[in-house]
A and B are shown apart, each in its own frame.
Chain A
Amino acid sequence: MKEEIRMTSQSRYPFYNVMNEQEAWDAHTRNIVRSRLEPSSQLRYLEMEELQLLRSVCRVLLDETRSEMLAFVVSHIDQVLASPVGEAQRKAAVLPQGKLIRDGLQRMRLSTLLYDFAAMDQTELAALEQLLSQLSEGCAESAEVWTGFDQKAFFKSLLSMAADGYYSHPDIWSEIGYGGPAYPRGYVRASLGQIDPWEANSPMNHP
């Protein structure tokens, strides 16, 4: 991202809740979206230890602290890893996704034995962020732990699964002001600056 662009750090739509519109959605979509608000189901692929580390990882990747949101994201990742559906594409020489994540999490644990990431105080968070940053560039240190492992592929796979889950959650849709499902009702007002009455709105966005 270019330096000079200022981004907000808070929702621009503090009073918008996309779920208020759910009666206007078709039943199939409504069921899919509602199920994301229910407590997560049982683990199908991940083990307890992996889950705890993954929660902390997602916390950093997504800059999110709410525990129910992190639980949802981790549960989404668990479902993806347990699913028999393919990965669409896998780079030659990269491990299949389930193995890649399991192997990578284990290596993360080995390379950070000093820390208890489940505890998550400032020291641990900073260390985790640093490790993730190295993984994202493929330059995590400690040869005996990381040699022969595709750090970048591991990091990217985690990040895209985490983001897919997170940005499919209706609370996040509300925060970013996304209109959400739109059937049978579509959009009528389509000019720049126009909104349909049920879309996210906030006076502070119209200076």
Chain B
Amino acid sequence: MTLQRKYADEEVDACIVGAGAAGGVLAKELSEAGMKVVVLEAGPMLDPQQDFASDELAMRKLGWQDTRIVDGTDPLTMGHNNSGRSVGGGTVHFTGVFLRFHADDFHTYSTDGIGEDWPLSYDELAPYYDKIEKEVAVSGPKHFPWGEYHGPYPYPEREPLSPNAYLFRQGCEKLGIRSSVPPLAILSAPFEGRPPCINRGFCNQGCMPNAKFSTLLVHLPKAINSGAELLSDCMVTQVLMHPNGKASGVAFTHNKVSYVQKARMVILSAYAVETPRLLLNSATVQFPDGLANSSGWVGRAIMPHSSYDVMAKFDKEIRIYKGTPVLATTQEFYASNPAERGFARGYSLHAHGARPLETVKGIIGDERGLVWGKQLREAMLEYNFYGRITMVGEVLPNPDNRVTLAEDTDEYGLPRAKVTFSYGENDRKMIQEAIGNMSAILEAEGGKVAFVHPDTAHLMGGCRMGTNPDRSVVDAYGQTHDIPNLFVCDASVFVTSSGSNPTHTVMALAARTAEHIVNKVKRREL
């Protein structure tokens, strides 16, 4: 099929690469401000009612399945584990946990002498957190006990919860650990024509009733209404440069045919692996190490969250398949206290439901050694008798954890991304403490710890922001230090990872970047 175009031969005001969490917010804000916007998305446009299914295997396709080369002492699991690839990006298959970072997450260097401070504070981001919460109609508790923001949330907390969430909360209560229903980007009452959640549990397979927010449902339709052109199945292969040192647009491929989109401004929102990869793959004579890479920091200091799962077996049925996967959380172990705990920073613990494939993956990968054969079969026959908790742990930034280009090439002839990751000592100590606490909560309710699964979740960093152009790629608004009309706006700008799920922060940063761009354009400064 040939590509139906609106702005084919025009130089648009902004070309956004990637229609995910950040790309969706940017597209909406910039087009509502009257800018001419083209959004290019590598993945397909999907219809929740026709293309989603209540099935884990079939819905792996929501992930970025193209092969990445992984390396390091703790090579990452990619694909559906951390990267989305369709209109809506990672928001289509994310779990909907919608947390704000805490104030000290933005200055870990000042607080703990580790990592680096962000070039912005919690207070500067707070108004954008407010804005995104309203747009999404976040449901949350009357009082969220941790961090700077305790509510109110636009919509009341989800109710009822799930058996696994009740189990978790009872276990916490016995141990005197405060727990809460988390703020969720999932409706507890109707909003803008979307219905409340029916507790079916398939958030990671795409929400069929449209109860869970995604930019596919919320931001991108508004962008299109305001005139944005959204092109799916369009893989951007290069950012194009003008001899004057500014970006002139992008090259992209649709159905094996190459196209060029000219733009006055290019914004990369392709997530923590593809954004650095695209910058590296766009090297020119003038920028031999890749675009925006005079610091050498493009691709460096990528961070997952440590995300170990603990499964305990009970004498009674729990049924972890029921309900929204995460309906209870605690951040009692979030605050940094290196003197007492022997490591810096902290983590959240989520009661975390799972369907059979995610469960079997966790059993097979038990940290004590692969489980298979009779042992695996018997363990899975007890599927309904497990309770499950997952940590979201802060992983410290390390410049050696990075995205580089592999020798292998992909279907477009581009070098694949090579992603190298190894935990550091602080990360490992934190994981050990978290395993202990997860085990204790489950044991308090009579469970016996059966499996501990080393896992990671989410990706951040790779084009970090900062004030010093020698040690960062973009400034506090996502503008690259080297190329004034080239921006990065997605999870790759994160300086540190925090112990909170990242998407709320990704979107708040995008709203802030969008406002900045609109103001600059109005003042003709861009």
Binding site for B on A (CB under 8 A): 1-2, 4-5, 7-12, 25-26, 28-29, 32-33, 60-64, 85-92, 96, 129, 132, 136, 155-156, 159-160, 163-165, 167-168, 172-173, 175-188, 190-195, 199-200, 205, 207
**B163 touching A88, Cβ below 8 Å:** no
* Interchain CB contact (< 8 A) of A8 among B322, B366, B378: B378
Contact of A136 with B378 at beta-carbon distance under 8 Å, contacts A182-B202, A183-B209, A190-B199 already known: no
**A191 touching B382, Cβ below 8 Å:** no
Contacts of A194 in B (CB 8 A): 163
Question: Closest approach, in angstroms, between the C-beta of B477 and any C-beta of chain A?
Answer: 32
Contacts of B160 in A (CB 8 A): 190-191
Contact of A191 with B166 at beta-carbon distance under 8 Å, contacts A7-B382, A11-B381 already known: yes
**A88 touching B67, Cβ below 8 Å:** yes
Question: Closest approach, in angstroms, between the C-beta of A44 and any C-beta of chain B?
Answer: 17
* Interchain CB contact (< 8 A) of B356 among A7, A132, A167, A187: A167
Question: Closest approach, in angstroms, between the C-beta of B202 and any C-beta of chain A?
Answer: 7
**A183 touching B202, Cβ below 8 Å:** yes
**B322 touching A190, Cβ below 8 Å:** yes
B374 at the interface (CB under 8 A from A): yes
**A90 touching B322, Cβ below 8 Å:** no
Complex Cα spacing A178 to B448, Å: 21
In the complex, what residue of chain A is closest to B410 when comparing beta carbons?
A86
A-B residue pairs, 4 tightest by C-beta: A88-B79, A186-B198, A181-B54, A7-B378
Q: How many A-B residue pairs have CB under 8 A?
A: 220
**A28 touching B51, Cβ below 8 Å:** yes
Complex Cα spacing A173 to B374, Å: 17
Question: Closest approach, in angstroms, between the C-beta of A205 and any C-beta of chain B?
Answer: 6
Question: Closest approach, in angstroms, between the C-beta of A129 and any C-beta of chain B?
Answer: 7
Complex Cα spacing A156 to B376, Å: 14
5 residue pairs A–B, Cβ–Cβ below 8 Å: A1-B379, A163-B361, A168-B55, A186-B200, A190-B161
* Interchain CB contact (< 8 A) of A2 among B75, B202, B319, B450: B450
Contact of A187 with B322 at beta-carbon distance under 8 Å, contacts A89-B78, A176-B380 already known: yes
Complex Cα spacing A176 to B67, Å: 32
**A89 touching B378, Cβ below 8 Å:** no
B332 at the interface (CB under 8 A from A): no
**A89 touching B79, Cβ below 8 Å:** yes
**B54 touching A8, Cβ below 8 Å:** no
**A85 touching B65, Cβ below 8 Å:** yes
Question: Closest approach, in angstroms, between the C-beta of A162 and any C-beta of chain B?
Answer: 9
B341 at the interface (CB under 8 A from A): no
* Interchain CB contact (< 8 A) of B55 among A129, A160, A181: A181
**B373 touching A25, Cβ below 8 Å:** no
**B317 touching A193, Cβ below 8 Å:** yes
In the complex, what residue of chain A is closest to B359 when comparing beta carbons?
A167
Question: Closest approach, in angstroms, between the C-beta of B346 and any C-beta of chain A?
Answer: 27
In the complex, what residue of chain A is closest to B81 when comparing beta carbons?
A88
* Interchain CB contact (< 8 A) of A205 among B49, B317, B370: B317
Interface of chain A: mostly helix, strand, loop or mixed: loop
In the complex, what residue of chain B is closest to A7 when comparing beta carbons?
B378
Complex Cα spacing A193 to B20, Å: 39
**B167 touching A192, Cβ below 8 Å:** yes
**B383 touching A129, Cβ below 8 Å:** no
Contact of A4 with B448 at beta-carbon distance under 8 Å, contacts A156-B370, A187-B200 already known: yes
Contacts of B50 in A (CB 8 A): 28
B321 at the interface (CB under 8 A from A): yes
Question: Closest approach, in angstroms, between the C-beta of B172 and any C-beta of chain A?
Answer: 14
**A200 touching B384, Cβ below 8 Å:** yes
B77 at the interface (CB under 8 A from A): yes
Contacts of A92 in B (CB 8 A): 69-71, 406, 418
In the complex, what residue of chain B is closest to A12 when comparing beta carbons?
B381
**B70 touching A89, Cβ below 8 Å:** yes
* Interchain CB contact (< 8 A) of B75 among A91, A165, A183: A91
In the complex, what residue of chain A is closest to B167 when comparing beta carbons?
A192
B523 at the interface (CB under 8 A from A): no
Interface residues of B in 43-72 (CB under 8 A from A): 49-58, 61, 63-71
B175 at the interface (CB under 8 A from A): no
Contacts of B372 in A (CB 8 A): 61, 132, 136, 159
Question: Closest approach, in angstroms, between the C-beta of A158 and any C-beta of chain B?
Answer: 10
Complex Cα spacing A129 to B372, Å: 11
**A26 touching B78, Cβ below 8 Å:** no
B449 at the interface (CB under 8 A from A): yes
B313 at the interface (CB under 8 A from A): yes
Question: Closest approach, in angstroms, between the C-beta of A104 and any C-beta of chain B?
Answer: 15
**B68 touching A195, Cβ below 8 Å:** no
**A181 touching B383, Cβ below 8 Å:** no
**A181 touching B69, Cβ below 8 Å:** no
**B200 touching A1, Cβ below 8 Å:** no
**B321 touching A178, Cβ below 8 Å:** yes
**B448 touching A28, Cβ below 8 Å:** no
Contact of A190 with B370 at beta-carbon distance under 8 Å, contacts A86-B65, A176-B383 already known: no
Complex Cα spacing A186 to B418, Å: 40
In the complex, what residue of chain A is closest to B312 when comparing beta carbons?
A5
Complex Cα spacing A8 to B80, Å: 31
Interface residues of B in 113-163 (CB under 8 A from A): 160-163
Question: Closest approach, in angstroms, between the C-beta of A30 and any C-beta of chain B?
Answer: 9
Question: Closest approach, in angstroms, between the C-beta of B159 and any C-beta of chain A?
Answer: 9
**A164 touching B381, Cβ below 8 Å:** no
**B357 touching A182, Cβ below 8 Å:** no
Mark each residue of chain B from 378 to 395: 1 if its CB lies under 8 Å from any CB of chain A, else 0. Answer: 111111100000000000
